[in-house]
Chain A
């Protein structure tokens, strides 16, 4: 979205849609009819005999009469679609219905033909929710037979920007916890054998060179060069926004360490590029090693 399309713009658009008031009547495809009533009762498991006996439709079925079929054409007058389009354009692309409250004024009778009119009545936002930042808005729909209102519905949805999922957390063992304790402090620690001095990454409990079980560590200078890299596009990876660059970096000390190459235009990534370490703080107990082009 463009930076100019901010909360004030969303509210302006909402005011315009609210001011337009109730949409023109959209007439039901069919009149209230008993075959459709029977299908609905059967699907719902409702065996109340009153509908068949008196030629009535169940009130909870009201919305069914004005449903627009499996392949509905866009309705330029629908305030729900209009408001959703505004929020889509502003990046609030996901949707969840939160409330639906229906009020029935009377039973519908066989042969009556209903029409529905809708208006936008309320919008609030932006709100922080568990799903992500979003806007709640409410439409009110009224079903009429002629000029007589027979049912109303308040329908509330949340349009939101899905929050990026948090990065995957590493499994930490007693052999590797020194590394993750270091990244939280802003240190890139390299495993070192306290017996023979060998450096190694990734680490383990034993020295593959001399066999000693005396692991220690040194703090890396934090500079190196890109040994290889990928530009990741699909599928989504939690904690990273595609496309992103992941680089295998050979540190000055000689070991290789993996990390995201931050704020890097994919076209600028190349093998041999000098980088320095940075740390992406996930929370108080976890920071991930990452790189920036020097």
Chain B
């Protein structure tokens, strides 16, 4: 990010390729409508571009990036609630050509999506930040502007509920 701040556009390409899929999934699983998720995803990256001059390497770039994403999501939630993305709305490309496996995967995905949908927003966000961004508990706390105890608790509850959903299946 420092290189990009200095005018190196290739540095941004590297950053983008490293984080694009994870960030997109984080946003997509937080918002129900895919078009809206894409819009929000684009807004997050535009914010990164605009705020490059004010970027300070005091924390990991990942934490900074997901802090921006969290803030954009909070804005979105404030505007119109929190609909969870319906994963059935789009056909995810599957790497498994086997139809039986594909069906099972879809079933698992649906069950998992249902479990995710039932999670409170804060717990879902903590889970997504952990799984998608690879953030630790302190980093989740920093990205969501909360304390470590709260972040840890949210993540633990989310994991427990998702595990219960999987076990039920």
A and B interact: no
